[in-house]
Amino acid sequence: MSRKFVLFIVAVIIVALSGWVIINNWHYSRVKEEVRLGIKNKTLPYAQSFCSPLKERFALLEGLYSFAHTLNEDEIRTHFGSYAKDIYTIKNGIRNLSIAPEGIQKYVYPHTRNEVVEGHNLLQDSREEVRKDIQKTIESGEIEISGPYELRQGGEGIIARKAVFEDDTFWGLVTIVIDMPHIYEESGLDKTANLLIALKDSEDRIVWGESSVFRENPIIIPISIAHESWSVAAIPLGGWSKAYRDEYLLFSLITLFIAILVVISIVLFARKFSSVSERSKQQQERYENLFNSIRDVIVVTDSERTIVDINQRALKRMFGYDPSELTGESTEILYESFNYYEKAGNELLHTKDLNNTTALELSFRKKDGRVFSAELTALNLYDKRKNVVGYVGIIRDVSERKVHEKTIRENTLSKELLNELAAKYLSRQGYEPIIHEAIEQLHSLFPQYRAAYSTIDIDGNLAVKYSVQPENMPDLTGLEADVKPAKEYLYSLQTNRVTRIGNVEDDSKIQPLKGAMKEGNTHAVLDVSIPLRDEIRGLLCFDSSAPTAWSDHEIHILEEYANFLTLIMDNDAYQKKIEESNIRLQGAVKEKQTLLTEVHHRVKNILNVIVSLLKLQEDEVDSVEKAIEAFQASQKRIYSMALVHESLYKSDKLSEIDLDQYIQTLAGQLKYSIEGYTDIEYHFDLDPVSVDIIQWIFRL
């Protein structure tokens, strides 16, 4: 073997190793970024899931605040139990609810296991940190939290409070005690997969997890809990080194094998073998297996961007093509449009070496026409004279990552929109405009669906109250429909919180209504009920113009809005009951005032009549016998008057007199009080007439 050939081999090895080192360094930096980004994306839902149940329960505290701020203490005493029970049953994990006029917890629900709370003066609590939190609550006028710490009733919890003011004067406090173990369970912090998560409060106390997580260069996600800044930290299970190695090692070995194979291939070609030996074929097969095992699509082209080679398995999985269908074709066939093809070409013009590469996010098209997003990393291939002889493109599918990012954005936006709706409802806009705006918001979150709110009675009569839809679907506002023919569908609406129909054509429950669905261009339906006690009150709906596999994310968003509407409807119904009760009380007061006036006036009249009767008999009295007869006649007349009044006070109406019945009673009593006229017959021609008691008194 000549010295020149040995030097050539050494040079090839050095170049291959240099390229391998550069590629692996580039890939290692990408692996670190992607692993940390992946950990962050996995942690975000847990952070949001931890915040969401707390915010939902803080919203219940706002409802309790409105209750205490609106009613006086007598009304609070009367209605606290039923109102607190309604709030308590909406969400699990609530230890108790209480109202503390002047800081003393007079009203507590439930009573069981909370006896130690009743009568406790929060302003004089023996714990200094509690007194400080109470003072902070009064000064801020906002929701403030204490804890988490061990509760007086036992167990770990957070106490949220808000001060109630009456004419800028401190009136008292409303409080909700939340069980933290339930919040941890509901948020899934105890079920994290391949993650170690820790949680710190605003005072840098470890609330959940191990403190060591914060020392391991974790992903830190700040969260806001009732105006306090908490933080969630996460690291991969097993540490960062293992996570990087798991992602990096395979690629490193693959590229090393590729470098070795490239070197071997170059050496073999340098020796100008005229025929391919059996050993060369085996090496070629190994190279192809290694090349085809890479998950990303690697496209090798000539200088005109015509496809020369492409890894088979990744191509089939990502695009649906076989290599034979693309070999010799322009790479334009892979892009969604010529604009993206041209954009990738412009990037190639600026790519000089491995250190000057960037990943472009472009839209590509599968063989079946579906479009997806992917990252393209492009490299130039040079000859000995540094002329570009071809290109290498690495295509990585990022559509799943984008779907995950979109889900996070929609969850965040829905929470913000629900908070806006809650603020508007608390500003006394009424729940009807809030429902209308909720439908508008749902359509803005999912513009491809028709969003609608409908009512449904126990007989199965459905009425669409609000509907917002895309241009290809008709407006259903005001539509009324009888869903009784679809018994399975009606039963599902009345018994299940969620009813999903992915395809109207295939689902047996909806078949009796299939014609009406087609008229509304509805091919898939998602319904979430808004309950009233044990019955359905209304429905929130998504309608799709195409068959749809409804996702858990879409169901979750619709359920969140349904829970919110349930809360404000229950609150509105409760307010109406209070108003009706006030009206009845005012009517009772009026009845009593009227009765008192009548009593005074009638007593006066009776005394006057008795005096007059006695005067009438005075002239006829000239002997003892006459005096006795006169007193007996007066007794009959007075007794007659007493019977008339007895018939009046036995009446169901104290503020009105039935004049026809009064006249008949009066005539009947007079018949027996007038001496010598017992054989008189009476005939009445009277219409039923009611007279206001005040008018009747002043006409007597």
The tens digit of pLDDT for each residue in 409-422 reads 666 766 666 666 66
187 close to 195: Cβ distance less than 8 angstroms: no
| Tokens representing residue 95 in the block | 């230890």
∠ Cα 291 293 296 (to 5°): 85
Half-sphere exposure of 594 (CA within 13 A, CB side): 18
Closest CA to 693 of 641, 649, 663: 649
* DSSP tag of 118: T
∠ Cα 178 191 247 (to 5°): 140
Proportion of the chain above pLDDT 70, given as a percent: 74
Gap between the Cα atoms of 486 and 512, Å rounded: 5
Q: How confident is residue 232, by pLDDT bands cut at 50, 70 and 90?
A: very high
What pairs with residue 235 in β-bridges?
Answer: 196
| Tokens representing residue 571 in the block | 């609150």
Question: pLDDT by residue (tens digit) across 167-208?
Answer: 889 999 999 999 988 888 888 887 877 889 999 988 888 988
Mean pLDDT of all residues in the chain?
Answer: 79
Question: pLDDT by residue (tens digit) across 302-311?
Answer: 888 898 888 8
Gap between the Cα atoms of 160 and 168, Å rounded: 21
The whole-number average pLDDT for the span 586-591 is 70
The whole-number average pLDDT for the span 219-234 is 90
Amino acid at 78: T
Written in H, E and C, the secondary structure of 398-450 is CHHHHHHHHHHHHHHHHHHHHHHHHHHHHCCCCHHHHHHHHHHHHHHHCCCCE
Tell me which of 70-84, 269-283, 624-638 is least confident: 269-283
The whole-number average pLDDT for the span 236-246 is 81
Expressed in angstroms, the distance from the first to the final Cα of the chain is 143
Bridge-based pairing state of the strands 195-200 and 169-179: unpaired
pLDDT at 562: 81
pLDDT at 698: 45
27 close to 274: Cβ distance less than 8 angstroms: no
Cis peptide before 110 (omega within 30 of 0): yes
pLDDT at 277: 45
Gap between the Cα atoms of 683 and 668, Å rounded: 11
pLDDT at 63: 92
Q: How confident is residue 555, by pLDDT bands cut at 50, 70 and 90?
A: confident
Gap between the Cα atoms of 411 and 486, Å rounded: 34
pLDDT at 435: 81
pLDDT at 30: 83
Gap between the Cα atoms of 587 and 593, Å rounded: 10
The yes-or-no verdict on residue 6 having pLDDT over 60 is yes
Query: Where is pLDDT greater, at 673 or 267?
Result: 267
Query: Where is pLDDT greater, at 429 or 461?
Result: 461
Residues in the chain: 700
Query: Where is pLDDT greater, at 588 or 567?
Result: 567
Proportion of the chain above pLDDT 90, given as a percent: 12
Closest CA to 560 of 417, 431, 407, 402: 417
Question: pLDDT by residue (tens digit) across 435-467?
Answer: 888 888 888 888 899 999 888 887 788 888 889
Q: Is 338 helix (H, G, I), strand (E, B) or coil?
A: helix
The yes-or-no verdict on residue 389 having pLDDT over 60 is yes
Residue 36 to residues 150, 405, 667: CA-CA distances in angstroms? 35, 15, 100
Q: Is 6 helix (H, G, I), strand (E, B) or coil?
A: helix
Query: Where is pLDDT greater, at 674 or 544?
Result: 544
* DSSP tag of 329: S
What pairs with residue 544 in β-bridges?
Answer: 524
Cis peptide before 547 (omega within 30 of 0): no
pLDDT at 65: 92
Amino acid at 514: K
Burial group, residue 515, by CB count within 10 angstroms (0-12, 13-18, 19+) = exposed
526 close to 558: Cβ distance less than 8 angstroms: yes
Contacts of 68 (CB under 8 A, 6+ apart): 76, 99, 164, 171, 172, 174
The whole-number average pLDDT for the span 467-486 is 88
pLDDT at 161: 93
Q: How confident is residue 135, by pLDDT bands cut at 50, 70 and 90?
A: very high
Gap between the Cα atoms of 398 and 389, Å rounded: 29
Tell me which of 107-121, 499-513, 639-653 is least confident: 639-653
- Phi and psi at residue 373, in whole multiples of 5°? -95, 140
Q: How confident is residue 99, by pLDDT bands cut at 50, 70 and 90?
A: very high
pLDDT at 424: 64
Gap between the Cα atoms of 140 and 163, Å rounded: 8
Gap between the Cα atoms of 250 and 294, Å rounded: 9
Bridge-based pairing state of the strands 206-208 and 107-109: unpaired
| Tokens representing residue 633 in the block | 């006649």
pLDDT at 569: 73
